[in-house]
Amino acid sequence: MLKLIRLTTWEEVFQDWKQREGNDPGWIHCATVLKGWDSWESWRRFTAEQIKATDREWSLYELTDPMHEIPAMLVGPFTGWQSRLPAPNKHTFADLVRIPEQEDFFRAHEKVTSMVKDFPPLTMFIGLRLEGNDRIVCMEGHHRATAVALAALDKKSIDFGGSVHIALAALRTDEIHLLDNVLARGTSKDPQGTYKSSSEFIARS
């Protein structure tokens, strides 16, 4: 169950995201080399524009049952992740790790397995809450969510080191197409460019 903490703004959510990722060499490499942007911030702000993040009302919630709530989140509309699933924008992290090939891949994924053992404390996800069914689409936090889903698959618990938070905004039924648009467009600066696949980053990060 989600427990409302307080209202927030997109800029506050973004600055928290930037603090987590903005100076990480791996994410900077993904933004500049794999995606063709000048910086991490320009890449992530483009991603935010695709879902009209600045126009939305954001709230901060606590996930009171993260071992169940996180695996139940829908995988976000990003090619490196959706390419691992049988249908676009329909599957959860629990679904992802139940696919034998993907289970094997992520069990050998150093970043994901390290999070199972030592989860980042005071963590926060970013998501969109679908109007009508209250399902959550993960927009940021995929490696962490996959780690939790793997632990849940093994019927193990993760020591979260405190509360797990998620920043959420509503996505109306008539806006669901935005998720398909994000997936179709991708997040590269030039969608026709010859950048390396984001799957490479998932594999090596």
Assign 142 to helix, strand or coil. Answer: helix
Q: Is pLDDT of 47 > 60?
A: yes
Q: What is the pLDDT of residues 12-21, one digit of tens each?
A: 999 999 999 9
Q: Is pLDDT of 205 > 50?
A: no
CB 148 within 8 A of CB 32: no
Looking at residue 134, its pLDDT comes to: 87
Assign 59 to helix, strand or coil. Answer: strand
202 pLDDT tier (thresholds 50, 70, 90): low
CB 127 within 8 A of CB 51: no
In total, how many domains does the chain have? Answer: 1
Query: Cβ neighbours of residue 71 under 8 Å, at least 6 residues apart?
Result: 92, 93, 94, 97, 145, 148, 149, 152, 153
Q: Is pLDDT of 108 > 50?
A: yes
191 pLDDT tier (thresholds 50, 70, 90): confident
What is the distance between the alpha carbons of residues 85 and 33, in angstroms, rounded to a whole number?
25
**Tokens representing residue 191 in the block:** 């969608």
**Mean pLDDT, range 51-74, rounded to an integer:** 98
**Mean pLDDT, range 170-192, rounded to an integer:** 94
CB 122 within 8 A of CB 31: no
Round the CA-based radius of gyration of the chain to a whole number and report it.
16
Count the alpha carbons within 13 Å of 90 in the hemisphere toward its beta carbon: 4
Its domain, for residue 61, covers 2-188+196-204
Q: Is pLDDT of 11 > 70?
A: yes
Across the chain, mean pLDDT equals 94
Looking at residue 200, its pLDDT comes to: 52
Looking at residue 197, its pLDDT comes to: 52
Out of 75-84, 87-96, 155-164, 190-199, least confident range: 190-199
Looking at residue 195, its pLDDT comes to: 47
Query: Cβ neighbours of residue 81 under 8 Å, at least 6 residues apart?
Result: 75, 96, 142, 202
